[in-house]
């Protein structure tokens, strides 16, 4: 007989293996060509929110790492960044997992650190030229917008909204998670690109500046449609169990706050 903790661990490992397989499939689907280096942007970002919602950060990273490595065995999808190709997706899933579990401070600090590393990297650009309205618009304008969303009230109480019985209530938290997750994934990918291409990367940032908003919108829309549908199907069982500790604590915290307000 398995103990309660052993049963929980087994369930998490089984779910991790299942999501790693799903991530592998999406990781093997190209949706756009990379700029400045051979390879493709894949549909992995469209399934990343589900991985982050259902798995705690450590398990999510394992699922992404496994899915990335297995998908790299396909001839059209080789590793491009010295074997670190899993990092962008891993940070996407980690941020989603932290945010949905109420650990917004950790998610925000992680985002800030990655942005800071990008800014100080000698082979990246903060502004890409006045002919592209930059300045005054920085290269990272969309990433900064995602950071604002992450620290705003929009990212509060995500677990409760995801556990709601109404399908429409899933859309807003999924959009928030997909948008913030895909932007930290993009800036991390940019750092890997700068590391691989080196000084030559500087000539590509103006083109990337024009292209990346379109590709990120496509990924967010795809993630919203796919993840909302999957979560609606999984919500009565898998989602509830994955977020049960978060949803159990949140109502108590809200009730305590309301009680304190009433006493005042």
The residue-averaged pLDDT of 15-34 equals 97
Please indicate, yes or no, if residue 3 is contained in any of the structural domains.
no
What is the pLDDT confidence band of residue 257, given thresholds at 50, 70 and 90?
very low
| Cα–Cα distance list, 93 to 2, 44, 87, 182 (Å) | 29, 11, 10, 9
Number of other CB atoms surrounding residue 259 within 10 Å: 10
Please indicate, yes or no, if residue 129 is contained in any of the structural domains.
yes
> What is the structure's pLDDT at 1?
58
pLDDT digits (tens, 9 = 90+) for 179-233: 999 999 999 999 999 999 999 999 999 999 999 999 999 999 999 999 999 998 8
To the nearest 10 degrees (0 to 180), the angle between helices 141-151 and 168-197 is 140
Query: Are the CB atoms for 40 and 32 separated by under 8 Å?
Result: yes
pLDDT digits (tens, 9 = 90+) for 70-106: 999 999 999 999 999 999 999 999 999 999 999 999 9
Domain membership of residue 116 as a residue range: 10-263
To the nearest 10 degrees (0 to 180), the angle between helices 205-234 and 168-197 is 140
> What is the structure's pLDDT at 248?
59
Please indicate, yes or no, if residue 42 is contained in any of the structural domains.
yes
Please indicate, yes or no, if residue 169 is contained in any of the structural domains.
yes
The SS3 call for residue 142 is helix
Tally of domains within the chain? 1
Number of other CB atoms surrounding residue 251 within 10 Å: 11
Query: Are the CB atoms for 42 and 185 separated by under 8 Å?
Result: no
Please indicate, yes or no, if residue 1 is contained in any of the structural domains.
no
């Amino acid at each position: 007989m398995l103990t309660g903790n052993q049963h929980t661990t087994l369930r998490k490992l089984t779910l991790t293996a299942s999501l790693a397989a799903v991530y592998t499939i999406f990781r093997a689907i190209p949706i756009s060509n990379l700029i400045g280096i051979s390879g493709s942007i894949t549909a992995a970002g469209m399934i990343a929110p589900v991985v982050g919602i259902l798995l705690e950060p450590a398990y999510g990273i394992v699922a992404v790492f496994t899915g990335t490595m297995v998908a790299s065995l396909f001839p059209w999808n080789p590793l491009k960044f010295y074997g670190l190709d899993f990092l962008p997706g891993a940070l996407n899933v980690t941020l989603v997992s932290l945010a949905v579990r109420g650990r917004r401070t950790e998610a925000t600090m992680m985002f800030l650190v990655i942005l800071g590393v990008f800014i100080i990297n000698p082979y990246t650009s903060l502004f890409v030229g006045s002919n592209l309205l930059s300045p005054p618009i920085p290269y990272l304008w969309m990433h900064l917008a995602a950071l604002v969303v992450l620290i705003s009230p929009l990212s509060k109480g995500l677990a409760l909204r995801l556990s709601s019985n109404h399908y429409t209530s899933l859309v807003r938290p999924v959009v928030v998670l997909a948008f913030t997750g895909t932007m930290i994934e993009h800036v991390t990918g940019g750092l890997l690109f700068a590391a691989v291409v080196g000084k030559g990367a500087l000539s590509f940032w103006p083109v990337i500046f024009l292209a990346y908003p379109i590709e990120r919108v496509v990924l967010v829309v795809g993630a919203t449609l796919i993840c909302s549908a999957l979560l609606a199907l999984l919500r009565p069982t898998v989602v509830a169990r994955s977020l049960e500790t978060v949803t159990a604590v949140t109502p108590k915290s809200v009730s305590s706050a309301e009680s304190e307000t009433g006493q005042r």
